[in-house]
Amino acid sequence: MKPYEVYDKDGSYLAVLYVDFFPRKGKRAGAWMTEYQGQRITKEGKNIRPHVSLVMNFSKPTEDKPALLRLGEVTTFLHEFGHSLHGIFANSRFESQSGTNVWWDFVELPSQFMENFAVEKDFLRTFAFHYETGEPMSDELIEKIIASQNFNVAMACLRQVSFGLLDMAYYTQQEDLKEDIIPFEKKAWEKAIIGEQIDGTCMTTQFSHIMSGGYAAGYYSYKWAEVLDADAFSLFKKNGIFDQATAQSFRDNVLSKGSTEHPMVLYKRFRGQEPTIDALLERNGITKSN
């Protein structure tokens, strides 16, 4: 684990960021962001800055090779780094409203937003060079990656929507459910099912997210976060992915605000309007920009 002190561009202190990149004996698998100390402002006006931890389990370097990351690892890093930025830039009075302490369907905006950079040529050209030849990644390879990510994406989209509908159907049920769950399930996600449903299959009984794991009536947040992150990133695509003014606005209106105001209020202040699904459809290759 490596600690970094993070300073703002004017030199003021922002946070400590601990990065823990590689697996070791006894370490939990997976990747996550957490805080050892949350941000808050004391009664005396002292801004207690956060201690943020970014944990990964990257492919380790070997004796003759540096750590060579797979695309999935880069994307996961960007995701957790997005959560870390939400923590690092936090600037709220109360810790309970600070940084990533936001509503369930808003917390993945900064993280999924950052994932967009993983397939941006101008971003990759800043660091992604062949470790032996120094060659940058070719445009052709980047385009192939995007095309493969979009393979069957409309099906995957409907699948997520169907799960969201099913989850909502259970949690908006007012009376005891007396009917068989198979027809209940079929009716609940009807709008998102395009193929024939196979007899004897039942998602409800194997879909642990619905009943445990904290998603109760919140499963839609996966898809909703995609709508938000694609819509937010589309503004960067328009203004330039490194555009300082757009980035500053994202920081000032979203990342630093935690849950001090309603997410839609914060979002609109950054974006100038409510999100639409247009950018997501375009990113997925379902529609083309005109």
Task: Specify the residue, 83 or 283, whose C-beta has the smaller distance to Zn ion.
Answer: 83
Closest CA to 118 of 68, 71, 58, 59: 71
Q: Is 115 considered catalytic here?
A: no
Which amino acid does the sequence have at 7?
Y
Q: Confirm or reject binding of residue 75 to Zn ion (CB under 5 A).
A: no
Which of these segments, 65-73, 105-113, 212-220, 246-254, binds Zn ion (CB under 5 A)?
A: 105-113
x/- map, 25-64, Zn ion, by CB under 5 A: ----------------------------------------
Q: Which is nearer to Zn ion, 90 or 169 (CB)?
A: 90
CB of 33 to Zn ion, least distance (A): 7
What span, in angstroms and rounded, lies between the C-alpha atoms of 224 and 203? 21
Closer to Zn ion at the Cβ: 111 or 246?
111
Listing from the earlier edge strand, what are the strands of the sheet with 13-20? 2-7, 13-20, 51-55, 32-37
Q: By CB under 5 A, what part of segment 108-137 binds Zn ion?
A: 111
Stretch that binds Zn ion, among 9-17, 41-49, 50-58, 106-114 (CB under 5 A): 106-114
Q: Give the range of 104-112, 198-206, 228-236, 251-259 binding Zn ion by CB under 5 A.
A: 104-112
Judging by beta carbons within 10 Å of its beta carbon (0-12, 13-18, 19+), is residue 166 exposed, middle or buried? buried
User: Closest separation between CB of residue 128 and Zn ion, Å?
Assistant: 23
Q: Where are the strands (E) in the chain, listed by range?
A: 2-7, 13-20, 32-37, 40-41, 47-48, 51-55
Structure tokens of 174?
Answer: 């007012």
For the bound state, the minimum distance from the C-beta of residue 58 to Zn ion, rounded and expressed in Å, comes to 17
Query: How far is it, in rounded angstroms, from Cα 125 to Cα 10?
Result: 27
Nearer Cβ to Zn ion (101/111): 111
Torsion of CA 166, 168, 169, 173, to 10 degrees: 150
Say which DSSP state 116 is in.
G
Q: Exactly one of 80, 95, 115, 185 is catalytic; which is it? A: 80
Catalytic residue ranges: 80
- Residues interacting with Zn ion, by CB under 5 A? 111
